[in-house]
Amino acid sequence: MDARDKQLLRSMRLELCTEVLVDGVVIQHLCQEGILTDSHVQEIKAQTTTQRKNMMLLDILPTRGPKAFDVFLDSLQEFPWVKDKLVMKRKEMTVQDPAGVTELAPPVLEASPTDQQLNRLARRLGAEWEHMALCLGLSHTDIYRCKVQHPHNLQSQILAALVLWRQRQGKAATIGSLQASLLTEEGDPSLIHYMLE
């Protein structure tokens, strides 16, 4: 899934969670088209509320390849108003090209991020945070621990992982290394600028 579509899902997350019922045709369509696996479907259905099911789906979708967003749009046949809104916002959105992002000064790139900056970044990251954490040198076990410690709050999971990374890396935990891992994950490099505001 490209950065624009990930950003769109993040920006409309709360609205999608309240307007779409993923239990029926949506999940079945995504499964039929190979976007979701049986284990994804079980993980989604295991959630206790409709909103949590929707959040779980929105966490999984960005990790499911380049076709995921378009297939998700196709699955919204029962929710044409949501589909139309997503299509309209997708056309309006412009994602900054990594080449067009203002370069940060070396002193900024070499600085260690503060708690407040990490919290701002955690607010903006979606499901791709796990891949980013792996790029930063955390293990699958570390990621699992962050999820277990904060089972119902994605932002807290991400923040816990970022703080753990900073603790382990010490002086090597820089804004530059965060930016590099975002670019490795084809994330939105403007997130670093947002973090620094």
Domain count, the chain: 2
pLDDT at 148: 92
pLDDT at 98: 43
- Whether 152 has a pLDDT exceeding 70, the answer reads yes
Indicate whether 100 belongs to any domain.
no
Residue with tokens 């284990």: 39
Based on the domain organization, do 84 and 113 belong to the same domain? no
C-alpha closest to that of 13 among 66, 82, 96, 76: 82
Residues 157-183 pLDDT 10s: 888 998 998 898 888 888 888 777 776
**More confident position, 99 or 2:** 2
- Say what the pTM is: 0.50
Based on the domain organization, do 157 and 189 belong to the same domain? yes
Based on the domain organization, do 184 and 135 belong to the same domain? yes
Indicate whether 101 belongs to any domain.
no
- Whether 33 has a pLDDT exceeding 60, the answer reads yes
* Domain of 151, in residue numbers: 106-196
Based on the domain organization, do 131 and 190 belong to the same domain? yes
Based on the domain organization, do 51 and 122 belong to the same domain? no
C-alpha closest to that of 167 among 112, 124, 126: 112
Dihedral angle, C-alpha 133, 138, 141, 147, nearest 10 °: -40
Indicate whether 33 belongs to any domain.
yes
Based on the domain organization, do 87 and 156 belong to the same domain? no
pLDDT at 66: 81
Q: How high is the mean pLDDT of the chain? A: 80
What are the DSSP calls for 126-179, one per residue?
Answer: -TTHHHHHHHTT--HHHHHHHHHHSTT-HHHHHHHHHHHHHHHHGGG--HHHHH
Q: What is the mean pLDDT of residues 33-50?
A: 87
Indicate whether 23 belongs to any domain.
yes
Q: What is the mean pLDDT of residues 63-82?
A: 86
pLDDT at 122: 82
Q: Which residues contact 146 (CB under 8 A, 6 or more apart)?
A: 133, 157, 158, 160, 161, 164
Least confident of 18-22, 32-36, 136-140: 18-22
Q: Are 86 and 5 in contact (CB under 8 A)?
A: no
Based on the domain organization, do 78 and 117 belong to the same domain? no
Based on the domain organization, do 85 and 115 belong to the same domain? no
Residue that is last in its domain, among 60, 95, 130: 95
Residue that is last in its domain, among 95, 114, 137: 95
Based on the domain organization, do 66 and 20 belong to the same domain? yes
Q: What is the mean pLDDT of residues 139-150?
A: 90
Cα of 181 vs its chain's centroid, Å: 14
- Whether 101 has a pLDDT exceeding 70, the answer reads no
- Residue 76: phi and psi, rounded to 5, are -90, 30
Q: d(Cα 42, Cα 122) in Å, to the nearest integer?
A: 26
